[in-house]
């Protein structure tokens, strides 16, 4: 019997669940950077089902599996699969369940991963469902905060597209388990959806809302920037009007705390001036690396291998 464990959203996660994965990731870091060899996943196959573009999520799951001695089964592009003939997601999942031991799914429709989990006999990992959730990104974001800053008494700004940004939605729920102070920074059109703001209020989280980064930049420990999610705008004209409004430059961070860290799930478009990359504040490329040990930990968890680490 395979242990069954889907990863769909961070909403129901407790602090203990987050901490447990972060601890496993820490142990796996030497394997993630190739210092120590591992065969924990020998004989295991991870299916990659990407219905939307991806670089980091796809490749860091691939490298995580490969460095643990496992293998990858990639569905490839939607155009090259039977989806292009009109096959349903439910049928695709039923079939892939018989080929692989776990699957990572990225899909443009909110709720797709939850739906897939209902048809799957293997663990489904949500790699992003439309403007919904992105739980594995959140786990690596927490890990980055823990490594590069601190999770206790954290003062964080979440900036950019809070409306459509799924990384933000998942991160908000996670930060609520750490009693972080959250500063929401976005143009008024791109505020956090009401249902999430309500949930945070119920969890009694300390929140401020502004449309100006300069209001919070000097007080935060972490500035989490995000891309305006162009592909989710129903009206392209609306995108054009907000796209230039959030941009961080070297001048703007001059009076930030010396150990303030800037994070970004990437890809960045114009939200962070490349001049910022060489400052000690930039943590986004380290963040991309941390995706590897964290996704190793996630794979060990869903496949019931954590005792072997």
Residue 198, CA distances (Å) to 201, 202, 208, 235 in order: 5, 6, 14, 26
Note whether 166 binds ligand NCD by CB under 6 A: yes
**Closest by CA position to 223, among listed 151, 139, 155, 291:** 155
Size of the site for ligand NCD (CB under 6 A): 11
Per-residue contact string for residues 209-228; x = within reach of ligand NCD by CB under 6 A: -----------------xx-
Q: Which residues pair with 156 in a beta bridge?
A: 182, 222
Q: Based on CB atoms, which residue is closest to ligand NCD, 97 or 226?
A: 226
Note whether 128 binds ligand NCD by CB under 6 A: yes
Smallest gap from Cβ 264 to ligand NCD, in A, equals 8
- Of the residues 10, 57, 176, 243, which one makes contact with ligand NCD according to CB under 6 A: 57
**Closest by CA position to 41, among listed 58, 26, 62:** 62
Smallest gap from Cβ 167 to ligand NCD, in A, equals 5
Residue 192 DSSP class: P
- Of the residues 167, 170, 176, 287, which one makes contact with ligand NCD according to CB under 6 A: 167
- Other CB atoms within 10 Å distance of the CB of residue 231: 11
Smallest gap from Cβ 287 to ligand NCD, in A, equals 9
Contacts to ligand NCD from residues 58-117, by CB under 6 A = none
- Of the residues 265, 293, 294, 306, which one makes contact with ligand NCD according to CB under 6 A: 265
Side by side, the strands of the sheet bearing 124-129 are 71-74, 45-50, 102-107, 124-129
Note whether 137 binds ligand NCD by CB under 6 A: yes
- Of the residues 266, 283, 302, 305, which one makes contact with ligand NCD according to CB under 6 A: 266
3-state DSSP: the chain helix, strand, coil percent, rounded to 5?
Answer: 45, 15, 40
Note whether 146 binds ligand NCD by CB under 6 A: no
Q: Based on CB atoms, which residue is closest to ligand NCD, 10 or 97?
A: 10
Side by side, the strands of the sheet bearing 261-263 are 207-210, 181-185, 155-159, 222-225, 261-263
Note whether 135 binds ligand NCD by CB under 6 A: no
Smallest gap from Cβ 114 to ligand NCD, in A, equals 17
Note whether 163 binds ligand NCD by CB under 6 A: no
Q: Based on CB atoms, which residue is closest to ligand NCD, 40 or 104?
A: 104
Note whether 56 binds ligand NCD by CB under 6 A: yes
Q: Based on CB atoms, which residue is closest to ligand NCD, 223 or 305?
A: 223
> Is residue 129 within 8 Å of residue 112, measured between CB atoms?
yes
Greatest alpha-carbon span in the chain:
57
Q: Based on CB atoms, which residue is closest to ligand NCD, 124 or 305?
A: 124
Note whether 177 binds ligand NCD by CB under 6 A: no
Residue 123 DSSP class: -
Q: Which residues pair with 159 in a beta bridge?
A: 185, 225
Q: Based on CB atoms, which residue is closest to ligand NCD, 167 or 183?
A: 167
> Is residue 240 within 8 Å of residue 187, measured between CB atoms?
no
Q: Which two tokens stand for residue 183?
A: 């500063």
Distance CA 243, CA 256 (A): 24
Q: Residue 126: what are its φ and ψ, rounded to 5°?
A: -75, 115
Q: Based on CB atoms, which residue is closest to ligand NCD, 177 or 227?
A: 227
Q: Which residues bind ligand NCD (CB under 6 A)?
A: 56-57, 128, 134, 137, 166-167, 226-227, 265-266
């Amino acid at each position: 019997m395979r242990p069954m464990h889907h990863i769909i959203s961070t909403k129901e996660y407790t602090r203990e669940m987050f901490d447990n994965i972060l601890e496993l990731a820490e142990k796996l870091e030497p394997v993630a950077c190739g210092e120590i060899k591992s065969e924990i996943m020998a004989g295991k196959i991870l299916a990659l089902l990407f219905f939307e573009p991806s670089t980091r999520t796809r490749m860091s799951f691939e490298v995580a599996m490969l460095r643990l001695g496992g293998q990858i089964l990639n569905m490839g592009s939607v155009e090259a699969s039977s989806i292009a003939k009109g096959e349903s997601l439910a049928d695709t999942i039923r079939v892939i369940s018989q080929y692989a031991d776990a699957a990572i799914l990225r899909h443009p429709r909110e709720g797709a991963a939850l739906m897939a989990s209902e048809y799957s006999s293997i663990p489904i990992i949500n790699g992003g469902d439309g403007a919904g959730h992105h739980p594995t990104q959140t786990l690596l974001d927490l890990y980055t905060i823990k490594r590069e800053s601190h999770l206790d008494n954290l003062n964080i700004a979440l900036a950019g597209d809070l409306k459509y940004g799924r990384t933000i939605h998942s991160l908000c729920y996670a930060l609520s388990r750490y009693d972080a102070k959250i500063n929401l920074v976005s143009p008024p059109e791109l505020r956090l959806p009401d249902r999430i703001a309500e949930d945070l209020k119920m969890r009694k989280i300390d929140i401020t809302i502004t449309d100006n980064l300069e209001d919070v930049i000097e007080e935060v420990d972490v500035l989490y920037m995000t891309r305006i999610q162009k592909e989710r705008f129903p009206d392209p004209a609306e995108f054009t009007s907000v796209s230039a409004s959030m941009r961080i430059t070297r001048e703007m961070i001059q009076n930030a705390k010396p150990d303030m860290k800037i994070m970004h799930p990437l890809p960045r478009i114009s939200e962070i001036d490349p001049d910022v990359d060489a400052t000690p504040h930039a943590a986004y490329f380290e963040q991309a690396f941390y995706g590897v040990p964290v996704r190793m930990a996630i794979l060990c968890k869903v496949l019931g291998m954590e005792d072997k680490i």
